[in-house]
Amino acid sequence: MPTDQSPEDRYHYAVIARALKAIDDAGGAPLALDDLAERLSMSPAHFQRVFTRWVGVSPKRYQQYLTLDHAKRLLTERRTLLDAADEAGLSGTGRLHDLFIRWEAMSPGEFAKGAEGLTIRWGWFESPFGPALVMGTDRGISGLAFAGETGTEAAMADLRGRWPKARFVEDPMALRPWVLAAFGSANAPAPVFAIGAPFQIKVWEALIAIPPGHVATYTDIARRAGYPQAVRAVGTAIGRNPVSWLIPCHRAIRKTGGLGGYHWGLPVKRAMLAWESARVEAG
């Protein structure tokens, strides 16, 4: 997997990605610290330090966030009131990526042209949620896909197919500062330049209003976006979000507390919700 990140960044991201996958694969069965460390060829003490530094809590505590009823508890205890989002803002902990988003959307005219004449740079990076394909223009990150469940070829085809007339250039160096900020490794802005239809943009704006560590139902998001009768269409727009994680479609769940679907795979969504809950608690 090509990446321009430093050896330390790659090491830490790879450790965390493998640890999260091992925990998720256990299906809710608790994994002892010694067993996890052995799988990662690390001493228990070293693994605990690395994991806690990046996730914010111990491996044992993190596993509690991956239980099947975690989303239901979030819905009950920390369901965001989107009408109050302006007051809540995107505050929370300074270590969360949300504080570093600078949001900008493509105009309807630009979108209608299929991004014709637009240069989109791309690169592969390691992330806490597995291999990440990042795409961006001079104005910010325009695409963020996770290939752990779908595979790299499918992720690439998916993002490129959204902007058929754009010019794509492999250039991870240009994207690296934004990627580090996106995953909390740099105290710098991670600008988002969303490319979508006007209806989609309104839905994505509602997603950004959900504070980290919180969730909202599809109905709540539809109401906030101004389309209370179009919950199904809003759900489709959520699924078509091209900038996963930064535009947090993983925070949308069913009114029953069920996770619903996720474009890049439910294991990724579960890991994101657990990761955020852990860091909010630690922050």
Among candidate residues 40, 181, 249, 253, the one labeled active-site is 249
Q: Which of 3-12, 156-165, 176-185 has the highest mean pLDDT?
A: 156-165
- Where does the pLDDT of residue 169 fall: very low under 50, low under 70, confident under 90, or very high at 90 and above? very high
User: Mean pLDDT over residues 67-94, rounded?
Assistant: 47
pLDDT at 3: 43
pTM: 0.72
pLDDT at 13: 64
| Amino acid, res. 280 | V
| Amino acid, res. 158 | D
Report the first-to-last Cα separation within the chain, whole angstroms. Answer: 32
Q: What distance in Å separates the CA atoms of residue 9 and residue 23, rounded to the nearest whole number?
A: 21
104-108, 182-186, 235-239, 275-279: segment of lowest average pLDDT: 104-108
- Where does the pLDDT of residue 191 fall: very low under 50, low under 70, confident under 90, or very high at 90 and above? confident
Q: Which of 54-63, 104-113, 132-141, 201-210 has the highest mean pLDDT?
A: 132-141
Please give the share of the chain, as a percent, with pLDDT higher than 70.
73
Please give the share of the chain, as a percent, with pLDDT higher than 90.
25
Active site residue 249: yes
Residue 137: both structure tokens together = 């223009």
User: Does residue 107 or residue 249 have the better pLDDT?
Assistant: 249
Question: Ramachandran region of residue 229, left (φ > 0), alpha (ψ -120 to 50) or beta?
Answer: alpha
- Where does the pLDDT of residue 102 fall: very low under 50, low under 70, confident under 90, or very high at 90 and above? low
Q: Residues 13-72: pLDDT tens digits?
A: 677 778 877 877 776 677 888 988 888 888 989 888 888 877 767 888 777 766 545 555
pLDDT at 31: 85
Q: What is the mean pLDDT of the chain?
A: 78
User: Mean pLDDT over residues 8-13, rounded?
Assistant: 64
Q: What distance in Å separates the CA atoms of residue 209 and residue 230, rounded to the nearest whole number?
A: 19
Q: Per-residue pLDDT for 120 more than 60?
A: yes
User: Mean pLDDT over residues 180-205, rounded?
Assistant: 80
Residue ranges of domains in the chain, CATH in brackets:
77-262 (1.10.10.10)
pLDDT at 117: 82
User: Helix and strand tally (H, E) in the chain?
Assistant: 13, 8
Q: Residues 262-271: pLDDT tens digits?
A: 899 888 888 8
